[in-house]
Amino acid sequence: MYSQTEKRQFTIFLLIAYGLTYVMGLFMWYGNASAMDVSVFPNAQMMYPAAGVALAYLITGKKEQKYPKGFYAVFFVLAMIMAAMALISVFVALPTLGTAEAPVSMWTLISQVAIIIGSIVGWIALGVSGKEKRENGGLRWKKTGASVFCIVLFLVIYILRTVVSYALSGQLSDIAQTLASPYTWINLAAMIPNFFLVFIAFFGEEYGWRYYMQPYLQRKFGLRGGVIVLGVVWGLWHLPIDFFYYTTPDMGIIMAVSQQVTCIFLGIFLAYAYMKTNNIWVPVILHFLNNNLIPVLSADYSADILQNQQVTWAGVLFGLILNVICFGGFLFAKEFKKKDAGEGGEL
Kindly tell me the sign of the dihedral angle through the C-alpha atoms of 133, 138, 139, 143. positive
Alpha-carbon distances, residue 216 vs 5, 42, 226, 297, 334 (angstroms): 13, 25, 8, 35, 20
> Has residue 343 been placed in a domain?
no
> Has residue 58 been placed in a domain?
yes
CA-nearest of 84, 83, 82, 89 to 105 is 89
Q: What are the DSSP calls for 165-223, one per residue?
A: HHHHTT-HHHHHHHHH-HHHHHHHHHHHHHHHHHHHHHHHHHIIIIIIIHHHHHHHH-H
> Has residue 345 been placed in a domain?
no
* Residue 100: predicted pLDDT: 58
Alpha-carbon span 26 to 331, nearest angstrom: 36
Residues 6+ apart with CB under 8 A from 131: 140
* Residue 65: predicted pLDDT: 75
Q: How many domains does the chain have?
A: 1
Tens of pLDDT along the chain (347 residues)? 789 999 999 999 999 999 999 999 999 999 999 999 999 999 999 999 999 999 999 999 776 678 899 999 999 999 999 999 999 999 999 988 865 556 788 999 999 999 999 999 999 999 999 999 999 999 999 999 999 999 999 999 999 999 998 888 888 888 888 888 898 899 999 999 999 999 999 999 999 999 999 999 999 999 999 999 999 999 999 999 999 999 999 999 999 999 999 999 999 999 999 999 999 999 999 999 999 998 888 777 665 677 888 899 999 999 999 999 999 999 999 999 876 555 555 55
> Has residue 342 been placed in a domain?
no
> Has residue 258 been placed in a domain?
yes
- Which H or E run includes 5? helix 4-14
* Residue 62: predicted pLDDT: 72
> Has residue 220 been placed in a domain?
yes
CA-based radius of gyration for the chain: 20
- Strand 96-98 and strand 103-105: the pairing is antiparallel
Alpha-carbon span 272 to 153, nearest angstrom: 12
- What is the span of the domain harbouring residue 158? 4-337
> Has residue 20 been placed in a domain?
yes
Alpha-carbon span 345 to 214, nearest angstrom: 9
pLDDT tens digits along 102-116: 678 899 999 999 999
* Residue 102: predicted pLDDT: 65
> Has residue 347 been placed in a domain?
no
